Amino acid sequence: MADPKRRTLPSWRDDDRLRDECGIFAISGAERAAELAFLGLYSLQHRGQESAGIVAIDGDGAARAHKDMGHVNEAFDDQILEGLPGDFALGHVRYSTAGSSSLRNAQPVLVNYRHGSMALAHNGTLTNATELKDRLSREGAIFQTESDSEVVIHLIARSRREVPDHQVDDALSQLVGAFSLVLAVGRTLYVARDARGFRPLVLGRLGDAVVVASETCALDIIGAKYERDVEPGEVLRIEDGVIQRLRPLEPEPHSPCLFELVYFARPDSRIWGCSVDRARRAFGRQLAREHPVDADCVFAVPDSSNSAALGFSEESGLPFELALIRNHYVGRTFIHPGQAGRDFRVRVKYNPVAELIEGRRVVVIDDSLVRGTTSRGLVSLLREAGAREIHFRVASPPIVAPCYYGIDMPTRKELIGATHTVEQIRDHLGVESLGYLSLDGMRAMVAEYGPFCEACWTGDYPAPLVDLENGAALHRTS
């Protein structure tokens, strides 16, 4: 077998997909909390597949951590979970930007400071992390990781305020950018979302226990009941089952990430109060209205585009097919066969059902286009399978600007939507027609849940890009 012990992960990952950078989970007041955190993380696996970690805090306030590279069910087993006793736990799954996917950067971060142990799990990206780091460094702070979380931890530890509630407030008020976080100080759980509310965070109950997670699916898997979203700017203090609202952050216009609805979130989750599946269906229907086509059938690039494709089918009346089957054995380790030609990775991941394609005019729905390399490979697979006409439809607008709020995205010049016209992209993909959902059309579908951050489609960034404006490379790991 390939060596699973490497601290740095093997090379293959689909870099034509955007990656959310984290999923977070916290539970306070439930027996065997680490086990529930495990399950929660398991359901949030799609938000981060490179490392997983849990910190558990027992009744005496003793905190224990386990973190490892890999999927949740690789990083943990029964024996490890037994070594994490307590009724209070934080969990984290993580992607990371290239080159830094080491165990060192895995979360939650667990430290000791003057009030005892402190653990933090964080989703998002601070746009002033470098500025804060520089200031903290000048004041004598040392940094052992590359993650924003360590910045937050330092701010709390260095606060002049006397009690943790105020220290947390002090720290959070200095942060700019996107953050949804869960923080344990001793046996107290703090929960916060940035004032614009970029990244999701939901609150639920499992009996008397309080549960916090990136998405509702993490509540569902443990049988917890969804109560409400943590509001943008909200700061909560949770102890012994009591949820207390602390002073909220300075208010800002809300700008939750619309891309969560397009691609990141799990279709059975509710994000921004909206069913993910329902939003995607609506995008698909609107796409059909905006870019109708005379064709024989419609199908998705599975699995993330399935809902949109169903919506397109509904609206257009074209039959919905499952003409591309996704191979789920792909795994992360992979050989690099010299024998296999171009488009090998696409070929390994997607299996076209020739029967449904041959001689037909097909509409292919993808949720978004990043670099366009996968789509191009898919098109050539579909041609080989005998497609007569290929009409490509994208259930979101062209991505023209990188995200600085928690999504791991290529630079602007790698984004095909930023560097090519739609006609150029059509030509590049080699399809008969190409249509993107319009931003207005998209907005209209989810108007009641917005407004949203649409920066990746517009280049208008709701939160100041402090470090970028200072000329610093943006700190990309959440």
CB of 415 to a second copy, least distance (A): 27
* Chain Cα centroid distance, residue 92: 12
Detail the DSSP E strand segments found in 337-466. 350-352, 361-366, 389-394, 407-408, 433-436
Q: Which is nearer to a second copy, 191 or 217 (CB)?
A: 217
CB of 267 to a second copy, least distance (A): 6
Q: Which is nearer to a second copy, 54 or 176 (CB)?
A: 54
CB of 140 to a second copy, least distance (A): 3
Choose among 397, 400, 392: nearest CA to 440. 397
Q: Which is nearer to a second copy, 119 or 453 (CB)?
A: 119
Catalytic member of 22, 217, 403, 453: 22
Choose among 37, 32, 63: nearest CA to 52. 37
Contact 367, 262 (CB under 8 A): yes
CB of 129 to a second copy, least distance (A): 13
Contact 373, 16 (CB under 8 A): yes
Choose among 227, 216, 237, 176: nearest CA to 28. 237
209: tokens are 């226990």
In whole angstroms, what is the distance from residue 264 CA to residue 160 CA? 39
CB of 456 to a second copy, least distance (A): 25
Amino acid (one-letter) located at 403: C
CB of 225 to a second copy, least distance (A): 11
Handedness of CA 446, 447, 449, 453 (dihedral sign): positive
| Torsions phi, psi for 411 (to 5 deg) | -70, 165
In whole angstroms, what is the distance from residue 177 CA to residue 180 CA? 10
In whole angstroms, what is the distance from residue 304 CA to residue 475 CA? 28
Q: Which is nearer to a second copy, 154 or 196 (CB)?
A: 154
Q: Examine the residue annotation and report whether 274 is marked as an active-site residue of this protein.
A: no
Half-sphere exposure of 2 (CA within 13 A, CB side): 12
Q: Which is nearer to a second copy, 82 or 440 (CB)?
A: 82
Overall residue count recorded for the chain in this entry: 478
Q: Which is nearer to a second copy, 18 or 52 (CB)?
A: 52
Contact 378, 342 (CB under 8 A): no
Catalytic center residues: 22
